[in-house]
């Protein structure tokens, strides 16, 4: 599985999951009308570090039609209102990742939508085991969602987790495809149903607050050189713009993007502005089932 012994590696995945599960519960309690999104994101990220982990990616807080890649800016004054809130948290321990998301309905009007993503996740987890095909997992997720009168988001999926790679292979689809991959014992994957009352597809939109290093490239601009040195500590994992030194930051980011050193993660929104709910857990595949690390 990795250079280290498999049990050592799996224990690091488990530790990341335990840290995440604790913080996720505390974060949910903080999601209330009038509270700053930035306050919750910073609480999550600070708490991860205090408990012996590191953020595997910036705390994602996506509202209503947003699905992913939304995180507050450095001076963000947005507060929670009558919103459908997705909190997506990643924790790593020595690069080994736990990834989990929940949906909080502050309006109290969309509980069926929230339950649909939770039910799809639960049904998928029930069937995961050594030898299961991702085709079967996608079919179970899709049936659970459509059976409740909603649509799966077809161009978002669950994914594998590898060391310093929060979106590794295999892809775990939220719909049934003709071809898939067989999961095997000790695979670590994130199961992540997205459910909508809209078209069932997301598109890019909005500002970019999350970036990732593709590869270090030579640059002449001194600010870009300094930033490149700074972001290499994230080992290719996504990072937030608000984590970075502010001096001529936009110039440095633009320079690194131009030379192909950086990737952007634009906010993903439902194509028809339908509401989206999300549920996610990380599991280790076992011979006869799976172990949920983020419970």
Half-sphere exposure (Cβ direction) of 281: Cα atoms closer than 13 Å: 23
**Contact (Cβ atoms closer than 8 angstroms) between residue 70 and residue 76:** no
Strand-pairing partners, residue 162, are: 165
Predicted pLDDT of residue 202: 98
Is 71 within 8 Å of 208 (Cβ atoms)?
A: no
Is the CB of residue 99 less than 8 Å from the CB of residue 56? yes
Q: Which fold has domain 210-264?
A: Arc Repressor Mutant, subunit A (1.10.10)
Catalytic member of 11, 136, 167, 291 = 167
With CA atoms as reference, report the closest residue to 155 among 103, 87, 201: 201
Catalytic site includes residue 75: no
pLDDT band at 46, cuts 50/70/90? very high
* CA-closest candidate to residue 16, choices 92, 88, 101: 92
Distance, in Å, from the CA atom of 74 to the CA atom of 119, rounded to the nearest integer, reads: 35
193-251 pLDDT tens trace: 999 999 999 999 878 999 999 999 999 999 999 999 999 999 999 999 999 999 999 99
Task: Please identify which of the residues 54, 69, 159, 209 carries the catalytic annotation.
Answer: 159
Domain 6-205+273-292 adopts which CATH fold? Creatine Amidinohydrolase (3.90.230)
pLDDT 10s digits, 154-187: 999 999 999 999 999 999 999 999 999 999 999 9
Query: What pTM value is reported for the model?
Result: 0.96
Helix (H/G/I), strand (E/B), else coil: 242 = helix
2 has pLDDT over 90: no
Q: Among residues 99, 105, 139, 209, which one is catalytic? A: 99
> Residues, the chain, total?
295
Structure confidence at residue 1 as a pLDDT band (50, 70, 90): low
Catalytic residue among 54, 65, 139, 192: 192
Asked if 200 and 153 count as a contact pair (C-beta separation under 8 A), the reply is yes
CA distance 190 to 222: 39
Q: Please give the torsion angle defined by the CA atoms of residues 55, 56, 61 and 67, in that order, rounded to the nearest 10 degrees.
A: 180
280 is catalytic: yes
Report the first-to-last Cα separation within the chain, whole angstroms.
23
Whole-number Å distance between alpha carbons of 14 and 283: 9
Quick check: 111 pLDDT over 70?
Answer: yes
Residue 4: predicted pLDDT: 76
Whether residue 120 is predicted with pLDDT greater than 90 in this model: the reply is yes
Encoded tokens for 212? 């990732």
Would you call 88 a catalytic residue per the annotation? yes
Catalytic annotation present for 99: yes
Strand, coil or helix: what is 217? Answer: coil
Percent of the chain with pLDDT over 70: 99
- Is 60 exceeded by the pLDDT of residue 3? no
Portions of the chain given CATH number 1.10.10.10 = 210-264
Task: Note if 179 is an active site residue.
Answer: no
Segment 112-132 mean pLDDT: 98
Query: What per-residue confidence (pLDDT) applies to 190?
Result: 98
Q: Provide the token pair at 128.
A: 């995961």
pLDDT of residue 181: 97
The pLDDT value recorded for residue 169 is: 97
167 is catalytic: yes
What distance in Å separates the CA atoms of residue 183 and residue 160, rounded to the nearest whole number?
10
Residues of each domain in the chain carrying CATH 3.90.230.10: 6-205+273-292
User: What value does the CA radius of gyration of the chain take, rounded to a whole number of Å?
Assistant: 19
Cα–Cα distance, 159 to 193 (Å, whole number): 11
* Residue 285: pLDDT over 80: yes
| Mean of pLDDT values over 255-279 | 98
Question: Exactly one of 54, 83, 142, 280 is catalytic; which is it?
Answer: 280
Catalytic residue among 45, 54, 83, 88: 88
């Amino acid at each position: 599985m990795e250079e280290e012994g498999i049990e050592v590696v799996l224990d690091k995945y488990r530790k990341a999951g335990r840290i995440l599960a604790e913080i996720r519960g505390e974060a949910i309690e903080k999601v209330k009308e009038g509270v700053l999104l930035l306050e919750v994101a910073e609480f999550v990220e600070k708490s991860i570090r205090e408990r012996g982990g590191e953020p595997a990616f910036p705390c994602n807080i996506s509202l209503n039609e947003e699905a992913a890649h939304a995180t507050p800016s450095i001076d963000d004054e947005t507060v929670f209102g009558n919103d459908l809130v997705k909190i997506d948290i990643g924790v790593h321990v020595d690069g080994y990742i736990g990834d989990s998301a929940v949906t909080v309905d502050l309006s109290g009007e969309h509980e069926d939508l929230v339950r649909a993503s939770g039910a799809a996740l639960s049904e998928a987890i029930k069937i995961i085991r050594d030898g299961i095909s991702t085709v079967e997992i996608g079919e179970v997720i899709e049936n659970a969602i459509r059976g409740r009168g909603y649509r799966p988001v077809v161009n978002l999926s669950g994914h594998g987790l590898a060391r310093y790679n929060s979106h590794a292979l295999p892809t775990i689809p939220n719909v049934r495809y003709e071809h898939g991959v067989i999961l095997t014992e000790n695979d670590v994957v994130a199961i992540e149903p997205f459910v909508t009352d809209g078209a069932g597809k997301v598109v890019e939109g909005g500002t970019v607050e999350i970036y990732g290093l593709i590869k270090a490239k030579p640059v002449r601009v001194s600010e870009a050189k300094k930033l490149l040195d700074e972001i290499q500590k994230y080992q290719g994992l996504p990072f937030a713009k608000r984590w970075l030194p502010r001096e001529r930051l936009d110039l440095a980011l633009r320079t690194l993007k131009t030379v192909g050193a950086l990737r952007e993660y634009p906010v993903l929104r439902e194509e028809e502005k339908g509401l989206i709910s999300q549920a996610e857990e990380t599991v280790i595949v076992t011979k006869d089932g799976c172990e949920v690390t983020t419970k």
